[in-house]
A and B are shown apart, each in its own frame.
Chain A
Amino acid sequence: MKENGPTHALSIGTIAIAFFLFAAFLLFPLNFASLLEAWEKKVQIILYLKDGIDEKRIVRLTGDLEKEIGILKVRYISQRAAMESFEQDLAGYGGALKGLKADIFPASFEITVEEGFRTPEQIRSLASRLSTIPEADEVQYGGVWLERFSLLLYTLRWGVWVLGGILVAIIISVTANTVRLTLYNKKGEIEILKLVGATDTFVKLPFYLEGGLQGLLGAGVAILLLFALFRMFSVTIAPYVSLFLGEMQLRFLPPSIIAWILGVGVASGFLGGLFSLRRAARI
């Protein structure tokens, strides 16, 4: 590789850019998924009740809800408790709250969903079942945001695969062209090697290895660069982002994905070498 230093450096640089984009794109769904998990943990369903339901019925309803599949905990909030909570939340505006009566606050159930039932689809389905209870006035959950976010995550995950496919094609093409250039530079040497009885493997193996090494180095450089930028981002920018998106545990690519990216680098570089030798004129 040292004989064609600038060409190889350019090739490794191009591969590194391609892998950098791919790996950076992988980071989004990874971190959004953790944000989604955090949000899912906080998800609650609020079932607002119609006015005038007696205590006996409330107790029975509480029991019925606790038996419902997917519900972990049920907490009844009476009209008075709702008003007190409202007053607590807006304690600074004491004067403005004077004269409010408890009966304008609806009684409700705060329902905590079991861990295995916190996907947007399951929460939507549970909320829909709860809304059929005759005493239910309205059922609220943070479903719309959760569903939108989940859809975004789904799109990103698929986007990664599409982008990954395109990038692998780019990497194969870049490596193939570099290896082909080396091949033409070494045409004389290859011709002599073949004439003196070198086997095909002896002649071709260095080109395959060259392609594989280029892919590995390109992927390695990309991951190092991404890691450096990730560290910078997580120290300087992430705290500000958390203000808007809530507590967010930023995660870098796990070792298994790093190993996978390096593996794809080697494999696509190797394939590039293979294609260039196949397409090159018979030597």
Chain B
Amino acid sequence: MIHFLQVDKTYPDDIKALTKISCKIERGEFVFITGPSGAGKTTLLKLIIRAERQDRGEILVNKRNISRLKNSQVPLLRREIGFVFQDFKLLHNKSVYDNIALVLRAVGHNKKEIPKRVRHVLKTVGLEEWILQQTPLKLSGGEQQRVAIARALVNTPAIVLADEPTGNLDPELTVEIMNLLEKVNALGTTVVVATHNTGLVAQYQKRIIPLYRGALAA
């Protein structure tokens, strides 16, 4: 599903983010990318959605070499991937409904279908319908992250990438969100979670891709 082959990434000022990364994530897998801050976890996720480009090596997503994609093809790649952020990145001036529906509008979904899909995904992430008219700031951190996951799932992506999804949550809400991601994975979606929380990783017993200073740790 996702295949890294000898991937290097260096940022300006010669900051080496990733060095010779080779790894494989299979379809339907739940994988943790672990490592301390600055290990290269976020860069690795950004490379998968081509928000950054590698300097060397190849990255295959769904058997497509994404470094060879034309710029106009990148949106199509991103439609297959849902992204969850540590800080949720919800639009505070829009309702929960609009935050989720935004994705469907952006990819040109049938207008009549949008409300149905939004309600369906809301149920999947365990939120009630009254929340749809609320703005994100009126919700708790856990609810906001559920909305963010709903937004990542609404377009039924094959892959969900989550960058420190529980970083801003207390332990109780962390468990809730991780259980939700497990549920998403159980529905057949490949889930990749980047986290520095070793306790969390130990608790969930999933495959780990450990990073340290931009390289795969032994």
Chain A count of residues within 8 A CB distance of the other chain: 14
Q: Can you list 26 pairs linking A and B with CB atoms under 8 Å apart?
A: A188-B89, A188-B91, A192-B91, A192-B102, A192-B103, A192-B151, A193-B102, A193-B106, A195-B49, A196-B79, A196-B103, A196-B106, A196-B107, A196-B151, A196-B155, A197-B76, A197-B79, A197-B106, A197-B107, A198-B75, A198-B106, A199-B72, A199-B75, A200-B72, A202-B106, A202-B108
Query: What residues make up the interface of B, taking CB atoms closer than 8 Å to A?
Result: 49, 51, 71-72, 75-79, 82-83, 89, 91, 93, 102-103, 106-108, 151, 155
The CA-CA distance from A202 to B76 in the complex, in Å, is 13
Q: Is A3 part of the binding interface, using a Cβ–Cβ cutoff of 8 Å?
A: yes
Residues of B with C-beta under 8 A to A191: 89
Residues of B with C-beta under 8 A to A197: 75-79, 106-107, 155
Residues of B with C-beta under 8 A to A198: 75, 106-107
The CA-CA distance from A3 to B83 in the complex, in Å, is 27
Rounded to whole Å, the gap between the CB of B107 and the closest CB of chain A is 5
Q: Is A189 part of the binding interface, using a Cβ–Cβ cutoff of 8 Å?
A: yes
User: A189 and B103 in contact (CB under 8 A), knowing A196-B79, A196-B155, A197-B76?
Assistant: no
Residue from B71, B93, B102 in contact with A3 in the complex, judged by beta carbons closer than 8 Å: B93
Residues of B with C-beta under 8 A to A3: 93
Query: What residues make up the interface of A, taking CB atoms closer than 8 Å to B?
Result: 3, 188-189, 191-200, 202
The CA-CA distance from A188 to B93 in the complex, in Å, is 11
The CA-CA distance from A194 to B93 in the complex, in Å, is 18
Residues of A with C-beta under 8 A to B107: 196-198
Rounded to whole Å, the gap between the CB of A111 and the closest CB of chain B is 73
Once the chains bind, are B83 and A195 in contact (CB under 8 Å)?
A: yes
Residues of A with C-beta under 8 A to B72: 199-200
The CA-CA distance from A191 to B102 in the complex, in Å, is 12
Rounded to whole Å, the gap between the CB of A199 and the closest CB of chain B is 5
Rounded to whole Å, the gap between the CB of B134 and the closest CB of chain A is 18
The CA-CA distance from A202 to B78 in the complex, in Å, is 14
Give the nearest-CB partner of B82 in chain A: A196
Rounded to whole Å, the gap between the CB of B199 and the closest CB of chain A is 29
Q: A192-B91, A200-B72 are in contact. List 4 more A-B contacts (CB 8 A).
A: A192-B103, A196-B79, A197-B75, A198-B75
Once the chains bind, are A196 and B89 in contact (CB under 8 Å)?
A: no
Once the chains bind, are B155 and A195 in contact (CB under 8 Å)?
A: no
The CA-CA distance from A194 to B76 in the complex, in Å, is 11
Residues of B with C-beta under 8 A to A193: 102, 106
Give the nearest-CB partner of B76 in chain A: A197
Residues of B with C-beta under 8 A to A196: 78-79, 82-83, 102-103, 106-107, 151, 155
Residues of A with C-beta under 8 A to B151: 192, 196
Considering the complex of A and B, which 6 residue pairs feature the smallest CB-CB distances, nearest first?
Answer: A197-B79, A198-B106, A197-B78, A197-B75, A196-B103, A199-B75
Rounded to whole Å, the gap between the CB of A278 and the closest CB of chain B is 15
The CA-CA distance from A197 to B157 in the complex, in Å, is 11
Once the chains bind, are A192 and B75 in contact (CB under 8 Å)?
A: no
